[in-house]
Chains A and B, each alone.
Chain A
């Protein structure tokens, strides 16, 4: 995990983003416990409240559950929710491509052509 001090993104947000990505990618499995808030704080050299806030955010998003006295474990990611998260990522990536195309002065037709060409290559 790389945390940037001056990126304008709060540290707890960076931690939550990184862990969310790991959970959605399946790197953290259902039922697996996240590092303890104090252990993670120690390793990352930050305050406990920061890791706590990151975990609370993931809990609010339904990605993890807090077990009294034991820590936070990864929730079963049902395929509906996972699919939705992945769909959202695809939309975000496509929006980025659209904006980049605008800046480059591409027309919509040219953009769609490029997409088809790339899809063909991937196959």
Chain B
């Protein structure tokens, strides 16, 4: 499927002590919601920070939107970012967040901000300071500030993490609404540990490990590339050689198989299912991790 990229990354490299982020080529598809998945320490926050312009020290190229522009004021006006922790100063009140946002950004709509705060139930009392908000409310506040602007790209670092299940569901609705309003011009790029909660808003998935991208694709394509297989214990050893990842116990085995290898399992008593994005991600991460598994 042909798609344009809203962000293009070329020859990206960044070295830390003991860690190197290395991405030769990456395009975030325009008009869709892309999930960045990976173990802690895989490099997700680093990548998002570089893309959002929070850190500028890297080698390589990151360009944005149709004109392939580099990061600058014009690009940043069209982008919204939320991150772990908070970028609002701790002693600001919600009202001050509104004031300051309208000063910082051309396209901040105060009425929209107020409406979203109301819709998300963010405590807006004049004396309520950011530092006294719960993690969930702080994230909601960042989301409200970002959604109150006219943007074309949202970069969200673990937006679902501090949110309760109800609010996570609402977040998915919000992201779908954002994509719909844009009619193909709005894009979202978010990282998540909770793939299951975000799966039904994820169009494209990027899986990272040790600073590299180890798998990526549209979710529907990944669900055809990988198959979930369950079988009998006696076939486990033979299956282990064919399956991408596998676990076994006394009752049988289960694992993920590449669809192209399925015919090698012929003759075994197996049942086959379409895997969830969560299962695919765990399988890919397992195959690439240093973490020890049985």
Contacts and interface: CB of A to CB of B under 8 A. Distances in A.
Interface of A: 8, 10, 12, 36, 38-39, 41-42, 45-50, 52-53, 56
A105 to B, nearest CB: 30
B32 A49 contact: yes
Contacts of A56: 1
B288 interface: no
20 contacts: A8-B273, A8-B274, A12-B220, A36-B180, A38-B31, A38-B182, A42-B177, A42-B180, A45-B172, A46-B200, A47-B200, A47-B201, A47-B203, A48-B179, A48-B203, A49-B32, A49-B219, A50-B219, A52-B203, A53-B220
B274 A41 contact: no
Interface of B: 1, 31-33, 172-173, 176-177, 179-180, 182-184, 199-204, 218-220, 223, 273-274
B173 A49 contact: no
Contact of A47 (B177, B183, B202): B202
Contacts of B184: 38
B223 A38 contact: no
A41 B220 contact: no
B33 A48 contact: yes
Contact of B183 (A10, A12, A38, A49): A38
B176 A49 contact: no
B279 to A, nearest CB: 14
A10 B203 contact: no
A118 to B, nearest CB: 38
A47 B180 contact: no
A38 B180 contact: yes
Contacts of B180: 36, 38-39, 41-42
B204 A45 contact: no
A53 B201 CA distance: 14
Contact of A41 (B179, B183, B199, B219): B179
Given A8-B274, A10-B274, A36-B180, 11 more contacts: A8-B273, A12-B220, A38-B176, A38-B182, A39-B180, A41-B180, A42-B173, A45-B172, A47-B200, A48-B176, A49-B218
B33 A47 contact: yes
Interface centre among A39, A45, A47, A48 (most CB of B within 10 A): A47
B200 A49 contact: no
Nearest to B176: A42
A38 B179 contact: yes
A36 B223 contact: no
Contacts of B177: 42
Nearest to A41: B176
Contacts of B1: 52, 56
A45 B32 contact: no
Nearest to B274: A10
Contact of A48 (B32, B223, B273, B274): B32
A48 B200 contact: no
A50 B173 contact: no
